[in-house]
Amino acid sequence: MTGYIVRRIAAVIPVAIGVATLTFLIIHLVPGDPVVAMLGDTAPQADIEGMRHRLGLDRPLPEQFVSFLCGLLHGDLGESITFRRSVSSLISERYPATLELAGAGMLVAIAIAFPLGFIAGAKPGGAGDVASMGFAIAGISIPHIYLGPLLMIVFSLDLRWLPLTGRGGFAHLVLPAITLGTALAAILARMLRQSLITVRESDYMRTALSKGLTPRAALLRHGLRNSLTSVVTLIGLQIGGLLSGALITEIIFSWPGLGRLLISAINLRDYPLVEGCVLTFAMTYVVVNLLTDLTYAFIDPRVRYS
């Protein structure tokens, strides 16, 4: 197990360096001068030069890259231009809100997906299957940017059950979590159904049935358990969609997280802040994937040796 953990962590390092490099290149190499974009075309040349010097943009690119990487190792992401504070402090303020939203979205997804996937997989072709998979295909197709406003119209404006926007107690979390979790619920339900259908054909299910278990009990006790391992990896693969969905959901519900910070940084042309936010999102994804792999190896010993 230790050997596997070390190998997986070692494999992540080049990807993490690659992610940092690509983020740096996007911000620094793509045509368009960020300083001119920040100050406007009509800014005096002296101001432009001054700003460029302050941000270190007048130095050669390799030198900028080295100091960017060194800063990164110390958790230093530079200083935000508009907030005049360190980027890392701004991000650490907003980060918990994004994790809270993503976690709640994941819980909603699992709470919807498991019953639906089980009903569908227990009797493929039955009425429950058709209804569950109908929901799933609708859930995958409805975009966050419409589901969010739709829920707001019904539950906040019409019924007045839940607050419209912002972050606060549990009530504030409900609509954003449903908006975020629905698409993932639909994807997971489809996967669970497929996995249960495959599992039903297996020898141990035949054994379970022949020793007298009812089909339902056999599926719950033996089938679901074995399907879970594959669903865990698939959840890991879907985290990317969850994170970028969280970004959009934050905009819809004015949720004070990393996504909203990123979009306002883009609108303010605060490039150090854009860089920090993009990097944090991508690194979160890399780390979560690593954790999923390790969890999976923990659950299923076969993975460690392959």
Partner 1 sequence: MSARSPSLIVGVALVTILVICAIAGPLAVHVDPDAIDLAKALAAPSLAHPLGCDQLGRDVLARILWGARLSLGVSVGVVTISAVLGTLIGAAAALAGGRIDNLIMRGVDIVLAFPGILLAIALAAILGPGLIDLIIALVAMGWTGYARIVRGEILTLRERDYVVAAETLGARPARVMLRHLLPGVAGPLAVQATFGIGGIIGAETALSFLGLGAMPPTPSWGNMLDAGRAFLLVAPHLTTAPGVAIGLAILGFNLMGDGIAQRIGVD
Cβ closest to partner 1, residue 22 vs residue 111: 22
Cβ closest to partner 1, residue 27 vs residue 220: 27
Q: Please, are residues 79 and 271 in contact by the beta-carbon 8 Å criterion?
A: no
State the residues that interact with partner 1 by CB under 8 A: 14-15, 18-19, 21-23, 26-27, 30-32, 34, 37, 137-138, 140-146, 149-150, 152-153, 157, 239-245, 247-248, 251-252, 262-263, 266-267, 274, 278, 281-282, 284-286
Residues in CB range of 212: below 8 A, 6 or more apart? none
Nearest to 113 by CA among 215, 217, 228, 198: 228
Cβ closest to partner 1, residue 186 vs residue 218: 186
Cβ closest to partner 1, residue 39 vs residue 209: 39
CB of 263 to partner 1, least distance (A): 6
Cβ closest to partner 1, residue 228 vs residue 266: 266
CB of 14 to partner 1, least distance (A): 7
Element (H, E) at 254: none
Cβ closest to partner 1, residue 4 vs residue 155: 155
Cβ closest to partner 1, residue 180 vs residue 218: 180
Residue 79 DSSP SS3: strand
CB of 268 to partner 1, least distance (A): 11
Residue 77 DSSP SS3: coil
d(CA 109, CA 184): 6
CB of 301 to partner 1, least distance (A): 26
d(CA 91, CA 284): 12
Residue that has been written with the tokens 């879907």 in this structure: 238
Q: Please, are residues 208 and 239 in contact by the beta-carbon 8 Å criterion?
A: no
Nearest to 246 by CA among 178, 185, 187: 178
Cβ closest to partner 1, residue 190 vs residue 222: 190
Long-range contacts: 107-111, Cβ < 8 Å, 24+? 107/177, 107/181, 108/177, 108/178, 108/180, 108/181, 108/182, 108/185, 109/181, 109/182, 109/184, 109/185, 109/188, 109/242, 110/185, 110/188, 111/185
Long-range contacts: 210-216, Cβ < 8 Å, 24+? 215/122, 216/122
d(CA 156, CA 179): 14
